[in-house]
Amino acid sequence: MTQRKKGRQAWEWKRTDSLMPGDRIPFPVVADHFGTEGSARDGYFVGAMLGDGGMTSCTPEFHGDPQDGAVEFMREFAADYGCSVREIPLGVIVRLRFPFKSGYRNPVTDCLRRYDVWGRRCDEKALPNSVLSREFWIGCLSGLIDTDGCVRQRINPRGTVHGSVEYATVSPELAAQVSDLLLRFGVANRLRTVQRRQGADRLINGYPVVSRRPIHIIEVSRATALVRLAGLLNLRIGYKACTLEQLAHAVGHVAPARSDMHGYDEAVALDRVKNVAMVGSRRVYGVTVRPSRLFVVNGLVLGAG
């Protein structure tokens, strides 16, 4: 469903293969359908381990600043499961290992297996493919932002405050899942990919920095999305939580742009098609719905003809 570019700004149906750059398309702001299993603590633990955790050796590991709240949470979480915590200093950070009794299954490892994230390499990481509770997913997003995310606030020459929350990963599947999960909570975001560096244009201690894999970045920069995200997350790293709170307060006066919707449901917003590209042959699934019924596919509002 698209909005006409000329004349009366009415809606009209258009086939997905006939979409053009610039077409205005609706997308759902909130798709609030969650399960009941999983707690916020489990969610934060899974998200943090997907970020700065090691889940391919015999014993789960985590790397972080010993002075921040994420490492303290990991200590408490491991203790709740009866695991000991071994801390190995690595400069300003520490390497935490969570061993258990010899000859017994590690309960922390079993927790990661239960959510199907154990044993995944960095480029294969993905969110649990299960129907879990809203609290679990909020905790998971908080753990992801605390580890592999950043919160930025900047002021332009006119004195206007801008900001963004970004999450970066080398796993394309995890990036797409995080983007979709944010949309489920009504947080509009943008997913972009930074290709690997081939040249030696950047040096650290005389050594060239070369990226082995593309980096996928999810960016939240709209004022209303930042305010909504700040109300959801429970960040445990102090400076990130403080910056996000200040940013939400600075841009909280910005009202959502609803005039273009002409009285339609506020749970639906508008965006524009920026690019259309061929993706080749991919496995697809058929969806059977009643005629004229709306449904969501890949973040777009579609209709059955």
Question: Domain spans of the chain?
Answer: 1-27+285-305, 30-266
Is residue 250 a contact partner of residue 161, using CB atoms and an 8 Å limit?
yes
CB 220 within 8 A of CB 192: no
Per-residue pLDDT of the chain (305 residues; tens, 9 = 90+): 566 555 555 667 777 778 888 777 776 666 667 888 999 999 999 999 999 998 888 889 999 998 889 999 999 999 999 988 999 998 889 999 999 887 788 899 999 999 999 998 888 899 998 889 999 999 999 999 999 999 998 888 888 888 999 999 999 999 999 988 888 887 888 899 888 766 556 676 777 766 678 899 999 998 888 999 999 999 999 999 999 999 999 888 877 655 445 445 556 666 777 778 777 777 766 666 666 566 666 666 666 65
Query: Which residues contact residue 161 at a Cβ distance below 8 angstroms, ignoring those fewer than 6 apart?
Result: 153, 154, 155, 247, 250, 251
Contact between residue 34 and residue 140 where contact means Cβ atoms under 8 Å apart? no
Question: By CB neighbour count within 10 A (0-12 exposed, 13-18 middle, 19+ buried), where does 207 fall?
Answer: exposed
Q: How many CB atoms lie within 10 A of CB 118?
A: 18
The CATH label, of 3.10.28.10, 3.40.50.2300, 3.30.1330.40, 3.40.190.10, for the domain at 30-266 is 3.10.28.10
Helix (H) or strand (E) holding 141: helix 134-148
